[in-house]
Amino acid sequence: MQTRLLFLGPPGAGKGTQAQLLCKKYDLMHLSTGDMLRSEVSAGSPLGIEAAELMNKGELVSDSLVLSIVENRLNEASQGWLLDGFPRTVDQAEALSVLLGKIQQPIQAVVVITLDAEFLIKRLLGRGRTDDNETVIRHRLEVYKEKTAPLIAHYTKEGLVKTVKGDGDVLEIASRIEAVLS
Ligand code: AP5
């Protein structure tokens, strides 16, 4: 089983849901930049205040801000890890590559979870997070297409991509993911 992983996919594809299951089962460190940013927002920290406005509009927060919160956690990694929602731009992927080079822990696999837009929107409207209203969801999908989807080609060139369909039952999808990682 590969244990240095990255999950990619549009908002609502199920990255967070699947990441939690896999991390629990294999004792991996789950690094979700969305969750980390939401903790900063709840704490009302200066970083959270800066991030909240952008998150509520469905925009990405700045690369430097995200890198600052990820770097410390990865530096202390002593077990396998799963990056969920990071990197989200080619610049973030390049910065990550430098960081992982320093700690000599290269990525072993990039799992791309796919799902049609109509299902993504339905799922997210059913969840109701502050950035889950239809206008913001549609904008998040556009931002994903423009800034994050190019990472699929980036990691395909490195031979790391495994694509998994994100439709169906949660546990069925978990089995598909484990199958491509074993
Ligand atoms: P983030 O928290 O990463 O949100 P996201 O990528 O939009 O992803 P979601 O959490 O919406 O979807 P998911 O794929 O994780 O699906 P989930 O499992 O939750 O980022 C939020 C914001 O933070 C960004 O917009 C940006 O502003 C900022 N940000 C974060 N990282 C950043 C970065 N690196 N750089 C810059 N900015 C950054 O599932 C969704 C719903 O579907 C849930 O209700 C779930 O219960 C349900 N569901 C899951 N699986 C199934 C299933 N199989 N069947 C039915 N329902 C399901």
CATH number at residue 145: 3.40.50.300
pLDDT at 39 (0 to 100): 95
Q: How far apart are CA 32 and CA 22, in angstroms?
A: 13
Total number of domains constituting the chain? 1
Q: Which atom of ligand 1 is nearest to the CA of 126?
A: 44
Q: Residue 26 has what pLDDT?
A: 95
**38 CB within 6 A, ligand 1:** no
- On the 0-12 / 13-18 / 19+ scale of CB atoms within 10 A, 86 is buried
Q: What is the pLDDT of residue 51?
A: 94
Judge if the upstream peptide bond of residue 87 is cis by omega within 30 degrees of 0.
Answer: yes
Using an 8 Å Cβ cutoff, are 177 and 111 in contact?
yes
Ligand 1 atom at minimal distance to the Cα of residue 173: 53
Which pLDDT tens digits describe the chain residue by residue (182 residues)?
Answer: 899 999 999 999 999 999 999 999 999 999 999 999 999 999 999 999 999 999 999 999 999 999 988 988 888 877 899 999 999 999 999 999 999 998 899 999 999 999 999 999 999 999 999 999 999 999 999 999 999 999 999 999 999 999 999 999 999 999 999 999 99
Q: Which of 37, 137, 138 to mutate to test the pocket of ligand 1 (most atoms within 8 A of CB)?
A: 37
pTM: 0.96
> Burial of 149 by CB count in 10 Å (0-12 exposed, 13-18 middle, 19+ buried)?
middle
DSSP-derived letter for residue 144 is I
Residues spanned by the domain of 133: 4-181
Kindly report the protein residue whose alpha carbon is nearest to atom 2 of ligand 1.
34
